[in-house]
Amino acid sequence: MEKREELYRGKAKTVYVTDDADKLILHFRNDTSAFDGQKIEQLERKGEVNNKFNHFIMSKLEDAGIATQVEELLSDNDSLVKKLEMIPVECVVRNVAAGSLVKRLGVEEGTLLDPPVFEFFLKNDALHDPMVNDYHILSFGWATENQISEMKNLTFRVNEVLKALFDEAGMMLVDYKLEFGIDSVGNIVLGDEFTPDGCRLWDKETRNKMDKDRFRQGLGSVVETYIEVADRLGLKL
């Protein structure tokens, strides 16, 4: 598979086209950002760790019957993925109150949410990823009613699989975001990534933070903690 020109450069990943029109290469960089890019650092090995972590998680989801974009781990920092037409919304599930939910609603961090809370956010850094609902998505043509329903169903299926996976490893899956796209035959497929950059993970006993909040809050040992998360799951990095 030949990597060709750059297609898109995000905050922590670069997407490249390949010699196959239906395949792309995701390159995970060491860049780490927070607060819409106001805080940026390079963290050694972060790209490699997130690339391998993402492949591991997506493989677990594939085993559970959830279609994902990831096809093959190519190198330490590169993965081969299916080309998707991405839907410009993030699907967020919250199992425990944290982050923006606490600020918006004034609830106590750590409050268990039963049932879990589902939210949509528009992917737009300039607007700080505002919350939207089904009506916005339909009115602006970002997705159809059937696609909205499928994204919700898949997001909760992911929750069932990953909550159990992390729980068995002594961690709480507090919240996470997912992105979906449409493949060449019209199917909704899980895309982008699932890494500690895009979710919140707490140790079950201590409630120590084991995700990107370590970077946001200046807690240190970001990559080392990501590696600990992987190790608990049985992924040796």
pLDDT at 40: 85
pLDDT at 37: 66
- Considering only CA atoms, give the Rg of the chain: 17
pLDDT digits (tens, 9 = 90+) for 53-62: 999 999 999 9
Q: For the chain, what is the mean pLDDT?
A: 96
**Which of 4-18, 34-48, 118-132, 216-230 comes out lowest in average pLDDT?**
34-48
pLDDT digits (tens, 9 = 90+) for 128-172: 999 999 999 999 999 999 999 999 999 999 999 999 999 999 999
Q: Which helix (H) or strand (E) holds 162?
A: helix 145-168
Q: Give dist(CA 144, CA 210) in Å, integer.
A: 36
Please, what are the domains in the chain?
3-82 (3.30.200.20), 85-221 (3.30.470.20)
* Percent of the residues in the chain that have a pLDDT greater than 70, as a whole number: 99
Length in residues, the chain: 237
236 Cβ contact list (under 8 Å, min separation 6) = 230
Q: For the residues 221-227, what does the mean pLDDT come to?
A: 98
Looking at per-residue confidence, does 34 or 140 come out higher? 140
Q: Give dist(CA 213, CA 202) in Å, integer.
A: 10
Q: Give dist(CA 27, CA 66) in Å, integer.
A: 23
- pTM, 2 dp: 0.96
pLDDT at 33: 85
Residue 23 has pLDDT above 70, yes or no: yes
Q: Give dist(CA 211, CA 201) in Å, integer.
A: 6
48 exposed, middle or buried (CB, 10 Å; 0-12, 13-18, 19+)? middle
Among 38, 112, 107, 140, smallest CA distance to 120 is for 140
7 Cβ contact list (under 8 Å, min separation 6) = 15, 16, 17, 24
Q: Which two tokens stand for residue 220?
A: 């240190």
pLDDT digits (tens, 9 = 90+) for 76-109: 999 999 999 999 999 999 999 999 999 999 999 9
Residue 38 has pLDDT above 90, yes or no: no
Q: For the residues 199-212, what does the mean pLDDT come to?
A: 98
